[in-house]
Structure 1
Amino acid sequence: MTRLLLAFFALFTILSAHAQAPQRPKLVVGLVVDQMRWDYLYRYADRYGSGGFQRLLREGFSCENTLIPYTPTYTAPGHAGIYTGSVPALTGIISNTWWDRRLDTTMYCTNDTSVQSVGTPSKWGKMSPKNLWASTVTDELRLASNFRNKTIAIALKDRGAILPGGHTANGAYWFDNTSRGWITSTFYTKELPAWVQAFNARALPENYLKENWNTLYPIGTYANSTADATPWEGVLPGGSNTFPHRTDTLKGNVAMEAFRHSPFGNRYTFEFAKAAVTAEKLGKGNFTDFLAISLSSPDYIGHTFGPNSIEAEDCFLRLDRDIAAFLQFLDANVGKGQYLLFLSADHGAAHSPGYATANRIPAGRIDDRKLMDSLNAVTGRAFNIVRPVRSLINFQVYLDHDAIRRAGADRQAVKNFVMDELMRRSGMARVVDLENLGAATMPPRIKDMILNGYNQVLSGDIQFVFKPQWFDWGGTTGTTHGAPYPYDAHIPLVWFGWKMKAGRLGRETYMTDIAATLAALLRIQAPNACIGMPIAEVIR
């Protein structure tokens, strides 16, 4: 009798569990800040207000040691990694661009000549997620609802919208200089929705540029930055490297480039996100919607002026206010505690080499084009091959297999020769044969990052790793990213809103854990190439 009662109770428990639909937030918001190093959460904290980054950290759960598990660390694989929970070896997005051996040309990550631009006469709408091999967590949420929810993805950069939106987004929108507004492609729709057309008609970029870009606070109070107009700072398109940046007189494409390189780009993106929430009624239906936002302007600013510039500091002080306003908008329009938001980044950034060397930190630059020309010259003479190196991109060397074969040379011998030549160059820490990674001797973390970034179909033959604070940047100003080191690979990850309790986590977590954690919180299938693990402290 006791066994029968226990069995009945167990069956009743199972049936009751199955009868209850899982609880989910009304809306999930993914907020990716392009080129936000982890330390920016705290570097300018004394100037942040209470409603932006401070609110996220005060009320949310911060994974303080979140790392990118692959290299190179660029925008496209970063956005793909966050939303697929996977790495370039499995997603097919190994960089922003890569060498396509089949077509004998460079391939852009979201390029798709089979679609047409929508909202612009320019070619910059001919984009789609065609090159993304894997599903995203946004795809899986659409599948889980039998396509009864909505996914909208937004970014100034096409790759910052398209890759997070995945293959099934209801809409992905990016900014176009020619039309001076938001555009999309026929992959998503044949005509811009009326609300997007109405938003574009407001001509906000031109209005923002009329304001000019001056510092939010008196320029002498920017204690976390170097002096204005240091030698290693670049120039705002059409302007100068000093405040105030005059933008009100700029015209044409230069004006739109300056707009991208200013904090106005963040404000504009948030305004469009608010319009999307309202027009698409996100968070108002019976199923969880997803709004994927990527803020591109911090990356443009960082590349031009460097992470220690007043421009970078002012960008994040203004972004703090923009985030505060956006959280208030979500509170009012979706409901406080009814939406789940995560904040993260696609990569970080190195110090400008000029800044580093001025402070006695070893640093340097290598010009990729000059390096490839030099390798072709010396290797070509040694093996009597015309242009044995077909491409040098993403810290990888692509050998011309056909040219080597026609010359009757041994490909492994050519490869070994090129590897030896690379190790003779200043700034090199390690050179590895990508077809024989198992034999490489290097710190396990760096080796794993190379392995996760190596795609047998798309990657090159050889990979080189620079010494810390060295990178491939031909100019003398600004900065870039891509390295496996903490300044590029340590990113913020803060969870906020629905069912989140305030807290901090010090153990290592990874970019690939974001999609896995979202899937666990939403009780849906993880993306099909996901290798991340749900962060137990977040889903507890």
Structure 2
Amino acid sequence: MKFNKTFLSVLGLFAGLSLYAQQEVNRPKLVVGIVVDQMRWDYLYRYQDRYSNGGFKRLLNEGFSSENTYIPYIPTVTAIGHSSIYTGSVPAIHGIAGNDFIIQATGQEMYCTQDDSVTGVGATSKAGKMSPKNLLVSTVTDQLRLATNFRSKVIGISLKDRGAILPAGHFANAAFWFDGESGNWISSSFYMKELPKWVQNFNNKKLAEKYLDTWNTLYPINTYVQSEKDGNPYRQNYKGLDKMQFPYNLNNLKKENGLGLIRSTPFGNSLTKDIAIEAIDNEKLGQNEKGITDFLAVSFSSTDYVGHQFSPNTIEAEDTYLRLDKDLETLFNHLDQKVGKGEYLVFLTADHGGAHNPKYFQDKKGNAGYFPTGDVKKSLNEKLVAKFKVDNLIRSFANYQIHLNYQTIEQNNLNVDEVKTEIVNFMQKVEGVSFVADMDKIDSTPIPAIIKERMVNGYNRKRSGAITYVLEPQWYGGKQNSGGTTHGTWGSYDSHIPFVLMGWGIKHGANNNRVFMTDIAPTISALLHIEEPNGNIGSPVTEVLQQK
């Protein structure tokens, strides 16, 4: 029997297509990276008996949890955390040395995502003048785009610009963040010329205004046994409110606080969940007909704002996590329906934790304290003036680092090493300071190895202060007896974070091996069979790499 050439060509084409389909890399349809801002690891379990089966419990019951995941640098702050999660790197390499940092060569103060060369999209204020240009290395999201010849779609979403931009990376299709002035979600010209129609429609719903009605507890207030009683003193007041206790009339408060108030309520997380679902639907994430993997990077920021406002061990903090649990359940259920259960990969982690309020700790008879940064800076400056007869030798105490005014030092022909020695000697005697080091001489400074390594990892010569100081446990910079909390130190409350994966290619389990935030990006890279980010220093968590 003879076959004509056309038939043979068609047969060969189908054979080639079949072979191509068989050789397609096995990847999930969608990766959803979730960062819960200021989520300590113990919050996975602190309220576990109150969580639903579909949120945090589902992650733990179906997924794999690395129970001892730590941040390997200081300071532990938001911009660095988001950068390190997605790059597998540290400030010494990726360059994001703080939420704000100083360009040491010029003394210029720089916000982490500041980019004066771009314009806002959806906003006329400087809130839109943002991009990832200050991030010096690639992200796992960048590597996914490269690996698929830019066919993958990557989108970042967060109330905070830095929480959306830094995870989405340099090659993202879009990043969206919340503008507290207008109540809208915005972007910048780095990504687009105008907001997509679906974002415009979402903004037109005015959901922020609708959410800002009343905040009462999700459950009867007497059931919040994991928290201090309502109205306790370990918190800061909302602007315009003297009595801090439930229920909060948010509708009245927004008149004085603006729509940005939603950030400091659990409803900021709900709003973030809402737009994340809109992005999944309208951008058709995980629904690429060619089987190309998409990536949605979501950061829930209200946990951080609430933490700073109220501190741990408060009903407000507990209620925020109980409501976030419901939001996660809604998000996971939507992913099940839209992408398919088992067809998407989720990982959840945090950019940092949060300390107990020092007064709370002291009242329970624990050792803790407030470091009066402004007073110490003033006293140190007086000491330096007496020694060198020159004022303003110090620019800042930002990020638990002392930044020198190199221009003044040079103009007055001072020896920079002598100035640093005088500062180190002074700081060693200040109450609350545990260790201090001239970063050029840290190898010879007697500091425990694990702390020394974190100091080195967090030091970027071009963007960090010349001297790093470490406070005693449960101390942080702040005014005496001030409410709320903060973060930034090496202590477990700031550096022990969750890392849980669920869905595609993940078997249920847990480990207690010491792993690091920098291991997250290479783990995701290994699961996706893509090159790790170009500044990565982490290693894949091998127990996770058990694909179907």
Q: Could you say whether these structures have the same fold, taking a TM-score greater than 0.5 normalized by the shorter chain as the test?
A: yes
Equivalent of 1:157 in 152, 160, 164:
160
Matched, 1:306 2:311: yes
Residue 17 of structure 1: how far off its partner (Å): 12
Q: Partner of 1:537 in structure 2?
A: 543
Residue 103 of structure 1: how far off its partner (Å): 4.0
**Which stretch of the first structure deviates more once superposed, 235-244 or 142-151?**
235-244
Asked whether the equivalents of residues 183 and 260 of structure 2 are also in contact (C-alpha less than 8 Å), the reply is no
Q: Partner of 1:440 in structure 2?
A: 445
Asked whether the equivalents of residues 473 and 479 of structure 1 are also in contact (C-alpha less than 8 Å), the reply is no
Structure 2 residues without counterparts, runs of 5 or longer: 1-18
Asked whether the equivalents of residues 38 and 492 of structure 1 are also in contact (C-alpha less than 8 Å), the reply is yes
Asked whether the equivalents of residues 181 and 258 of structure 2 are also in contact (C-alpha less than 8 Å), the reply is no
SS at match of 2:215: coil
Residue 392 of structure 1: how far off its partner (Å): 1.4
Equivalent of 1:247 in 222, 245, 250:
250
SS at match of 1:28: strand
Counterpart-to-counterpart distance in 2, 1:508 and 1:304? 31
Equivalent of 2:396 in 391, 400, 416:
391
Residue 218 of structure 1: how far off its partner (Å): 1.2
Q: Partner of 2:349 in structure 1?
A: 344
Q: Partner of 2:461 in structure 1?
A: 456
Residue 456 of structure 1: how far off its partner (Å): 1.4
Q: Partner of 1:6 in structure 2?
A: none
Q: 1:149 to 1:107 in 2, by over 3 A?
A: same
Q: Partner of 1:369 in structure 2?
A: 374
Q: Deviations over 1:179-226 (max 9, x none)?
A: 21100000000100000000000000100112x101111111111011
Asked whether the equivalents of residues 115 and 130 of structure 2 are also in contact (C-alpha less than 8 Å), the reply is yes
Equivalent of 2:121 in 108, 115, 118:
118
Q: Partner of 2:143 in structure 1?
A: 140
Q: 1:181 to 1:252 in 2, by over 3 A?
A: farther
What code does the residue aligned with 2:435 have?
R
Count of aligned pairs between the two proteins: 524
Matched, 1:178 2:181: yes
Matched, 1:421 2:421: no
Equivalent runs, 1:80-229 vs 2, <5 Å: 80-210=83-213, 212-229=214-231
Q: Partner of 2:384 in structure 1?
A: 379
**Which stretch of the first structure deviates more once superposed, 458-467 or 367-376?**
367-376
Counterpart-to-counterpart distance in 2, 1:333 and 1:394? 42
What code does the residue aligned with 2:496 have?
H
Q: Deviations over 1:55-86 (max 9, x none)?
A: 11000000000001111100000000000010
Equivalent of 1:489 in 495, 513, 521:
495
**Which stretch of the first structure deviates more once superposed, 220-229 or 101-110?**
101-110
Counterpart-to-counterpart distance in 1, 2:460 and 2:77? 15
**Which stretch of the first structure deviates more once superposed, 176-185 or 230-239?**
230-239
Residue 30 of structure 1: how far off its partner (Å): 0.2
| C-alpha RMSD of the superposition | 1.4
Matched, 1:40 2:43: yes
Counterpart-to-counterpart distance in 2, 1:515 and 1:261? 29
**Which stretch of the first structure deviates more once superposed, 384-393 or 125-134?**
384-393
**Which stretch of the first structure deviates more once superposed, 91-100 or 236-245?**
236-245
Counterpart-to-counterpart distance in 2, 1:17 and 1:113? 45
TM-score calculated relative to the size of structure 1: 0.95
What code does the residue aligned with 2:517 have?
M
Equivalent of 2:483 in 451, 465, 477:
477
Counterpart-to-counterpart distance in 2, 1:18 and 1:319? 40
What code does the residue aligned with 1:367 have?
P
Q: Partner of 2:14 in structure 1?
A: none
TM-score calculated relative to the size of structure 2: 0.94
Counterpart-to-counterpart distance in 2, 1:86 and 1:405? 33
Structure 1 residues without counterparts, runs of 5 or longer: 1-15
Matched, 1:506 2:506: no
Q: Partner of 1:9 in structure 2?
A: none
Equivalent runs, 1:213-292 vs 2, <5 Å: 213-239=215-241, 240-251=243-254, 254-285=257-288, 286=290, 287-292=292-297
What code does the residue aligned with 1:197 have?
Q
Residue 474 of structure 1: how far off its partner (Å): 3.1
Counterpart-to-counterpart distance in 2, 1:30 and 1:350? 25
Equivalent runs, 1:52-91 vs 2, <5 Å: 52-91=55-94
